[in-house]
Amino acid sequence: MLKNLKINNFRGINNLEINDFGKINLLVGKNNCGKTSLLETIFLLVGSANPSLSLNLNMLRRYILPDENFWRSFFHRLDLETEIQIEGEFTEPQEKRILKIIPYFQNSTSSPIIEKAKNITLLSSITDSPIDGLKFKLNLITNNKENIYNSEIQTNPTKSGDPQGFTFNTPQNYKEARIGFFFAKDVPPGEKILSKIITKKKKGFIIDLLKRIEPSIEDISISADGNIMCDIGLSRLIPINFLGDGTNKFLSLLLILYELKNGIVLMDEIENGLYKSSQVIFWNAMMRLAEEFNIQLFATTHSYEAIQSFSSAYMDFMEKESREKQEDYIRLFRIEKNEDNFRVVQYDAEELDISLSSNWEVR
Amino acid sequence: MGNKYNPPKSLQEVRNRKVIFVEGIDDVKFIDILLEELKITSGIYIWNIEGKGNFNKQLKVLIKDSGFFQKETIAILRDADENPQRAFESIRDIFKRSCPSLPLPASPSRFSSGSPRIGIYIMPSEQDPGNLESLFVESLSNNPAMQCVTSFLRCLNSMNLTVHNKATAQALLCSFPEFTRDVGEAAQKGYWNLTSPKLQDLREFISDI
């Protein structure tokens, strides 16, 4: 579980620290306060030695073409002089990760060209120069032992008309022990995961949860051409995507959570496609799955209804499961940005409940 | 934005830079009239916390409101009940637990020098047990009706009847020409003696906000 996080110079965030994450974390705040960037830093930190994640992140932002700002966009104020540093403290197992990201220049042979530039005061010309990729330096600290792992990603030079390619260098001696999934708005339901679940005769579990949000579903299966089909009592099976975005999203997440045991799931704008009544069911299922498969969740939202559903689902979950109160189970973090100053305000379950029952704004 | 009888959804929604948190609607009505008396007609918002039990619940959450640190002054008015010092400490503890770095006043009726400035006033005073009703009674200690009220309560006591702790105020309210349910309404009808020396500390505290 990620407990604490420090971010320096990543995208719109110059300096931000959040401590005491819970099992299920909801991030709120005004537009452009850094919520999505925060999810991105967690994603990079969980897969610290996988440089292709940076590529995926820009693509999730629909930033497809590697133009001159493609790599630069990771740096605060697009300034290549400001080294990115993401620091996270984890439990299970206990470890600290410090991930530094610097620009990669194809013409640079050893140390970053920026270092040289500082000495010869050619900063402006250097920092405006094209950047060809990113270099990652992971410092992994466990049991007071430090290990450094380097990786990089670069854009391949292209000939006219060729599709853009990328080259990755990953550390040979590093095996990632953590697993994370960044759930984007339009992740299709995972047919392969469902296929595995069906083979293991576990699909009843998924159908039970799915029925809560779409009671007409009697069964799900995979067609010969690989599509997820569902039986809603009609004369023929229908594709799952006929049931709407909410059901699709719900199934996608259920399958990912099922597959991602002991992992971290990141979800941006959680409310999209879900009605309020479905949101409580949704959160309730997420809480059950997070508990059952030991998953830590981070989600962002703008929606007051999503926050209300989050809180109600938690109360419901605690009551139904007859659980004792767990201090660190859910958290809401509001990120406030005032120019370049960040403030993070944390609510636990009780504080959130008090605020919502008074109809107070927490976003 | 809410009005003085219905709190708004957030402190950020309150445009006023100074906010007084009070226990109930009587306090809202009384402070509203006292502000008028002191010619402070704008700039202060009176927030009804709706019951002293809510100070703990609500203040610790209101500190998290994005508008809290945008305020210039936050004042808290609460009843002493049996122990004024304990009442003062209970409010201080809420702030201390929720925001350890926030400068707090060392004693009641004073303001801290932080941002926002924090002030805690205990009614009827920092030395005496009691409540808003006690302050009402004290403000009218020279009212001729007080003799009748005292005799009445003495009579009740002689019969070993247990009387309500707000009985003096209720009995005193009966001496006014119009039916008045509570001390808040009494303030609106002008039945308080707002220039009483017993109200001097509170007047100074409110003026200092």
pLDDT digits (tens, 9 = 90+) for A274-309: 777 788 888 988 898 888 889 999 999 999 999 999
User: Which residue among A336, A355, A359 sits closest to B61, beta carbon to beta carbon?
Assistant: A355
Query: What phi, psi does B192 have (nearest 5°)?
Result: -75, 155
Nearest to B123 by CA among B49, B51, B22: B22
Q: Where are the alpha helices (DSSP H) in chain B?
A: 25-37, 53-62, 84-98, 132-139, 145-158, 167-173, 183-188, 200-208
The per-residue pLDDT string of chain B (209 residues; one tens digit each, 9 = 90 and over) reads 556 666 677 888 898 999 999 999 999 999 999 999 999 988 999 999 999 889 998 899 999 988 899 999 999 999 999 999 999 999 999 999 988 999 999 999 999 998 999 999 999 999 999 999 999 999 999 999 999 999 999 999 999 988 888 899 999 999 999 999 999 999 999 999 999 999 999 999 999 99
With contact defined as beta carbons under 8 Å apart, do B18 and B72 qualify? yes
Residues of A with CB under 8 A from a CB of B: 334, 336, 345-347, 351, 354-355, 358-362
Secondary structure (DSSP) of A209-227: HHHHH-TT--EEEE-TTS-
Q: Please indicate whether, in this complex, the C-beta atoms of B66 and A334 are within 8 angstroms of each other.
A: yes
- The pLDDT value recorded for residue A123 is 35
CA–CA separation, A254 and A250 (whole Å): 6
Residues A250/A256/A262/A263 CA torsion (nearest 10 deg): -100
Query: Which amino acid is residue A182, in one-letter code?
Result: F
Q: Please indicate whether, in this complex, the C-beta atoms of B66 and A346 are within 8 angstroms of each other.
A: no
CA–CA separation, A271 and A306 (whole Å): 6
Task: Please tell me which residue of chain B has the smallest CA distance to A342.
Answer: B66
Rounded to the nearest 5 degrees, what angle is found at the Cα of A29, between the Cα atoms of B15 and A182?
175
* Mean pLDDT on A249-253: 86
pTM (2 d.p.)? 0.83
* Mean pLDDT on A81-103: 95
pLDDT band at A188 (very low <50, low <70, confident <90, very high): low
Q: Please indicate whether, in this complex, the C-beta atoms of B7 and A358 are within 8 angstroms of each other.
A: yes
CA–CA separation, A304 and A294 (whole Å): 27
The DSSP call for residue A46 is H
Q: In the beta sheet, which residues pair with residue A86?
A: A7, A99
| Nearest-neighbour CA in chain B from A255: distance (Å) | 36
Q: Please indicate whether, in this complex, the C-beta atoms of A336 and B66 are within 8 angstroms of each other.
A: yes
User: Which residue among B13, B58, B64 sits closest to A345, beta carbon to beta carbon?
Assistant: B64
Q: Which of residues 96-155 of B touch A (CB under 8 A)?
A: none
* Mean pLDDT on A320-346: 84
CA–CA separation, B176 and B76 (whole Å): 30
CA–CA separation, A155 and A104 (whole Å): 10
Q: Please indicate whether, in this complex, the C-beta atoms of B64 and A334 are within 8 angstroms of each other.
A: yes
Whether residue B12 lies within 8 A of chain A, CB to CB, comes out as yes
Q: Please indicate whether, in this complex, the C-beta atoms of A358 and B58 are within 8 angstroms of each other.
A: yes
Averaged pLDDT of chain A: 86
CA–CA separation, A194 and A164 (whole Å): 33
Q: Please indicate whether, in this complex, the C-beta atoms of B60 and A355 are within 8 angstroms of each other.
A: no
CA–CA separation, A333 and A2 (whole Å): 14
CA–CA separation, A218 and A19 (whole Å): 43
E-assigned strand segments in A159-237: 166-169, 180-183, 219-222, 228-231
Q: Please indicate whether, in this complex, the C-beta atoms of A361 and B58 are within 8 angstroms of each other.
A: no
Q: How far is CA A107 from the centre of its chain?
A: 33
Nearest to B121 by CA among B105, B137, B133, B134: B105
Domains of chain A, by residue range, sit at 48-177
CA–CA separation, A279 and A272 (whole Å): 10
CA–CA separation, B160 and B78 (whole Å): 30
Classified as helix, coil or strand, B46 is strand
Percent with pLDDT over 70 in chain A: 88
Reported ipTM: the value is 0.73
Task: Please tell me which residue of chain B has the smallest CA distance to A349.
Answer: B61
Residue A89: pLDDT above 90?
A: yes
Tokens of A25: 């974390």
* Mean pLDDT on A147-162: 82
CA–CA separation, A350 and A253 (whole Å): 27
- Which of A65-79, A107-121, B138-152 is predicted with the least confidence, judged by mean pLDDT? A107-121
Q: Which residues of B touch A360 (CB under 8 A)?
A: 9-10, 61-62, 65
CA–CA separation, A60 and A184 (whole Å): 7
Nearest to A271 by CA among A245, A291, A289: A245
With contact defined as beta carbons under 8 Å apart, do A28 and A332 qualify? yes
* Mean pLDDT on A193-207: 90
Secondary structure (DSSP) of B153-199: HHHHHHTT----TTHHHHHHHTTSSS---SHHHHHHTT-S-TT-GGG
- The pLDDT value recorded for residue A126 is 41
Q: Which residues of A touch B10 (CB under 8 A)?
A: 360-361
Secondary structure (DSSP) of A137-152: EEEEEETTEEEEEEEE
Q: Which of A361, A362, A363 is the best residue to mutate to test the B interface, defined by the most B CB atoms within 10 Å of its own CB? A: A361
- The pLDDT value recorded for residue A288 is 85
Task: Please tell me which residue of chain B has the smallest CA distance to A332.
Answer: B64
Q: Please indicate whether, in this complex, the C-beta atoms of A361 and B65 are within 8 angstroms of each other.
A: yes
pLDDT band at A162 (very low <50, low <70, confident <90, very high): low
Q: How many CB pairs under 8 A join A and B?
A: 31
